[in-house]
Structure 1
């Protein structure tokens, strides 16, 4: 089992609840906590530099603003920067976010290892998630697995993400096509790009490009 865990959670009750579960139910003794992402990052970096790295990061996604200016203001920022230094650290997100599209994005884009939604069954699911991640599994929450075959579930691949990122930068479909060709990314035909963009509009029920970009940014996909 994991022997050293870092918990990033700004609500004291939730923080202590996670620590109690890790201590009492799973038997993890060495646990450090942080209420802000920058503090969590500093603790992580010190442990890594001291050659006593954390094996698991459990983090929320949203954090309250502090009187100090924070470089990392979200769990996504923390995950990204921690993985730049220690790519093999296991990551579990523990959050109230229950939108399947956003949860799926965390697995696809940020390669998290597990996800637990705060709620009635959170303790049981957290125990299951930590056990599974330790065994090398990718632990999906019920909110994601139950929606996987639902017609309303949107799954984005690498090309979809490229299109969204380029549209967000203000590039036209023609300019995006030329960039795909230059970078040897396929499919890059005019018809293929048109169909992909049209599908994105339909999936997110967007009225125009500005609306589409706003939606995916709000969901944390960009």
Structure 2
């Protein structure tokens, strides 16, 4: 159902980009914008907006917020966005970032945690009035055109949780023998040969030349 986006939260740590977004939003006189530079600031602002019965209609977040979240979990972005969605179940969430992580973006969209992604570039700020009108017209997903080709890999590729676990263990320095032992201790029976076959399958799916290249792709695409 169409609605008006009146209250926007910008989660961004670069002052010039904050200024640019606020300037764009000023051209939509019914919009007000708040800002946060860290995940903690963002969650505080979101909770206050809910408590004062003025919840945010739109959150614009850069993946850089994950730098401010303690720990080394590769899924910090998803955990944070899950918290935002829990607090603001009816809010639209757009990721606006130079970090193009197609697996992560596709996963967040499929889980209905975000409503789209805009890649930062020289002209991308000018897309936001269009994005807001897109949502106000009743549409639910927005992806700028340049992202479509790199998203295609994960629209058709079946990466399972088991694959993600393998990649995380490889990235931590575990050998195939180590991985077999770790999985068995978790109740998952996987021989070294079956693990090798799965890794080779992933190399083919992700067009990786070797294991190091595979881990690099997995990190770049937001799988781990």
TM-score (norm 2): 0.71
Structure 1 residues 179 and 131: CA distance shift in structure 2, 3 A: farther
Partner of 1:107: 109
Aligned residue in 2 for 1:22 = 25
Matched, 1:13 2:13: no
What SS class does the counterpart of residue 60 from structure 2 fall into?
strand
Give yes or no for contact 1:105–1:221 (8 Å, CA) kept in 2: no
Partner of 2:201: 199
- The unaligned stretches of length 5 or more in structure 1 are 182-191
CA distance in 1: counterparts of 2:198 and 2:66, whole angstroms: 37
The 2-side partners of 1:112 and 1:42 are apart by: 20
Question: Which residue pairs with 2:64 in the alignment?
Answer: 62
**Corresponding position: 1:89 with 2:121:** no
- Change in Cα spacing, 1:72 to 1:2, as seen in structure 2 (3 Å) is farther
Q: Which runs of 5+ in 2 are unaligned?
A: none
1:213 offset after TM fit, Å? 4.7
Per the alignment, do residues 207 and 147 of structure 1 end up closer, same or farther by CA in structure 2, a change over 3 Å counting? closer
Q: Secondary structure at the match of 2:159?
A: helix
Secondary structure, counterpart of 1:62 in structure 2: helix
- Can you list the C-alpha shifts for 1:162-192, whole angstroms capped at 9, x where unaligned? 122332357549x59x9789xxxxxxxxxx9
Residues 206-217 of structure 1 aligned to structure 2 (within 5 Å): 207-208=210-211, 212-213=214-215, 215-217=217-219
3-state SS, counterpart of residue 58 of structure 1: strand
Across the aligned residues of Structure 1 and Structure 2, the Cα RMSD in angstroms comes to 3.8
Structure 2 residue aligned with 1:187: none
Alignment match of 2:55 (pick from 53, 56, 60):
53
Q: Is the 8 A contact 2:103 2:222 kept in 1?
A: no
